[in-house]
A and B are shown apart, each in its own frame.
Chain A
Amino acid sequence: MKTFALACAAAVAILLGAVAPAAAQLHVDVTQGNIQPLPIAIPDFVGTQPSDAAAAANIASVVRADLERSGLFKPLDPKSFIDQIKSIDSPPQFQDWRIINAQALVTGQVAIQPDGRLRVDFRLWDVYGQTQMLGLQYFTTPEVWRRVAHIISDAIYQRITGEKGYFDTRIVFISETGPALHRVKRLAVMDEDGANPIFLTNGSYMVLTPRFNPTAQMIAYMSYYGNRPRVYLFDLETGRQQMLGNFPNMTFSPRFSPDGNKVIMSLEKDGNSDIYVMDLRNHALTRLTYNPAIDTSPCFSPDGKQITFESDRGGSQQVYVMNADGSDAHRISFGAGRAGTPVWSPRGDLIAFTKIAGGAFRVAVMHPDGSGERVITDGWQDEGPTWAPNGRVLMFTRTLRNGKGDQIWSVDVTGRNERRVVTPGNASDPAWSPLIQ
């Protein structure tokens, strides 16, 4: 009897165990977030000698400014720092950085080497994970400390966001000075943050639409030199300029191919303009469009297999795409209003263009098949977009009302972080260089 009772109790226990729920695991889907810039602490770099202190502080200052300008980072005020970094070779006191809500920390060190070179080390720390995310070391000449700072900014940006940075780049643009009726337009170039601006032409003739080649050493642009509007090439290394070809009629709207071996441009003849491509190695010219309409503003896709351009062949100014040999031209912009000045993103996923509707000019983007059109600026007259080399940010010309001139602005491809680019005076027609090699 006792054995029978024990067997019954065991059976009940087994049954209860079988019907009891398994260990609970909650399944949580998070699909909405809170887009905020990442709080990052960047104390002044450590100078190994008192004479290095200025360079150490300057480099940290440029890195802070670069990251803040991107809109993706929020550099914290150095006055709030509790932990004082005295050496980058010992781990930081992470709890001191968590208290001020820093999620990432950059520590750096600057030292002049016995051979006169500048050595810059930096480390990027994950404050929550308490781990080093990145550690790099650079050697250079002390005069180019700003470039080192931009390179460090690019490295941090890439490590945190997963995409390449764009701070070690240059901008070529048209500098505008003087009254509206007698405006002097000069070719100029500067660093991406507005530093080191330099005039390339003296303003005695008008210049328009400058574009970098893939090595950022050559600029193609349109010049009215000698009252003959033609496409020119400017070699930044030698300062040498040369007219591209010798055509009886106007050439304009040039742009390099992705490999830098060709220039695609418009050539006007008898009031009609078509698109041509010139091979810079042998100066062979190939005509790509044969249409009585105006075809202009051509731009290669990043793989060089396609070309986007604007044309009024359908009755109004719209954006088209064709193969690199001129075949299969088809319209891709079908939104309200007109569309022009298309530029293919360096990563190939989008085409930026100027959308003209309701009396306003706006910068917009769409996929190469014309889908997903989005307007990303909201100025009165925004036009002429150019892509950062990572395809994440755009610059464009913003014309102010009442003849107050032009300015260069930048905006994230999502439409966030719209801000003015620092230029010496008014400026227009920016073109972003690739990352400096």
Chain B
Amino acid sequence: MSQSQNRKRTRISAASLAGDRRSRLGLLGSVMLHGLVVATTFFSWQHSLEIADQSPPVVPVDLVTIADKTNIAPEVQQQPKIEPKLDAQTPELKSVPVPKVEMPPQQKAEVVPPPPKQASSEPLVKAKPAPVQPQMRPKPPAAEKKPAKFDVNSVLALLNKQQDQSTSSVHGKTGPQTHKGVGDQSAMTMDLVDALRNQVAQCWSPPVGAPNAADLVVDFDLFLNPDGSVAQPPQLTGGSQARASVSPYTRAAAEAARRAIYECAPYKLPANRYAQWREINPFHFDPRQMMGQ
């Protein structure tokens, strides 16, 4: 073996030793870098999970807020006692030794047809078709005052004047209630439903003396103008029309609800969401809760 070959072999050995050292350093660097990437990914992912876990549920909070704000809290008012002044009204008492009862002659009731409409007496408020294009309408006269706020549960409260505490109190306030909305849009329209309900409830005085409260349930289809006024006469729907034609109680209930719809108009609703409240169907009036049935 020559000396030059030995030197060459020595250089090769030194080069291989240096190559081994470099590859170990590269491996270590690679492991550390991969560890860093894995650690970064792990901590970043964990942090995002924590954020997701802490996010509050949006919809329930909205519903509770709406109910708290818009549900009608019952109030109780004392029913005033009415005692007539007898001094001026007490009729003279006629003492008759032999009582003689006057029998009036048989009376006939004839139906009087409505008078013909005159051109001069054309009604100011005309029924209009379903509104397609927004129109601005004048507000009704200021003299049309809304009735004073009244206890909405007073009928129930007055249904039992007994002071017996064994039964549930009707004088206490009920807790907040949430109302079931309509389909997928319930969360979006709940505030509109509550706003309409609360406004019309102030004007609605149903004939609660009917023996069967179910006779008083009526449904309407109502179109509103963009200014909240009634666009056209509300129409009975859902079988209410048929029931009103045979039951005087249903007819009276329908007329009371219709009066309420007109009396409380125009309704204060957000103009930019007119498409959502343009038509109310069904506008459902149900006084059974008020009657305790």
Contacts and interface: CB of A to CB of B under 8 A. Distances in A.
A103 B263 contact: yes
B115 to A, nearest CB: 5
Contacts of A196: 91, 94
Contact of B111 (A31, A136, A237, A355): A136
Contact of B283 (A28, A34, A140): A28
A32 B72 contact: yes
Nearest to B124: A95
B225 interface: no
A21 B185 CA distance: 10
Contacts of B115: 88-91, 123, 132
B152 A144 contact: no
Contacts of B257: 30
Interface string A349-389: 10000010110001010000000101111100000000000
A30 B285 contact: yes
A336 interface: yes
A26 B281 CA distance: 6
A144 B104 CA distance: 7
Interface in A98-140: 98-101, 103, 121-123, 126, 128-133, 135-140
B161 interface: yes
B214 to A, nearest CB: 13
Contacts of B155: 35, 414, 416
Contacts of B207: 72, 160-163
A310 to B, nearest CB: 19
B152 A32 contact: yes
A43 interface: no
Interface stretch (A266-274, A326-334, A417-425): A417-425
B209 A33 contact: no
Interface in B39-88: 72, 79, 81-84, 86
Contacts of A72: 207
Contacts of A162: 207, 210, 247-253
A362 B281 CA distance: 45
Contact of A135 (B93, B111, B205): B111
Contacts of B284: 27-30
Contacts of B282: 27-28
Interface residues of A, number: 102
Nearest to A355: B162
A422 B82 CA distance: 12
A210 interface: no
Contacts of A412: 209
Contact of B205 (A26, A38, A126, A136): A38
A103 B99 contact: no
A418 B82 contact: yes
B211 interface: yes
Given A34-B150, A162-B252, A196-B91, A376 B200 contact: no
A30 B92 CA distance: 49
B114 A132 contact: yes
B84 A420 contact: yes
A100 B144 CA distance: 7
Contacts of A183: none
Given A26-B192, A34-B204, A147 B276 contact: no
Nearest to B145: A101
B4 interface: no
Nearest to B74: A32
Contacts of A200: 99
Interface in A274-321: none
Given A162-B249, A375-B162, A419-B84, A138 B286 contact: no
B178 to A, nearest CB: 13
A212 interface: no
B43 to A, nearest CB: 40
A29 B211 contact: no
Interface of B: 72, 79, 81-84, 86, 89-105, 107-115, 117-118, 121, 123-125, 141, 143-145, 147, 149-150, 152-155, 158-164, 166, 179, 181-182, 185, 189, 192-193, 196-197, 200-211, 233, 247-253, 255, 257-260, 262-263, 275-290, 292
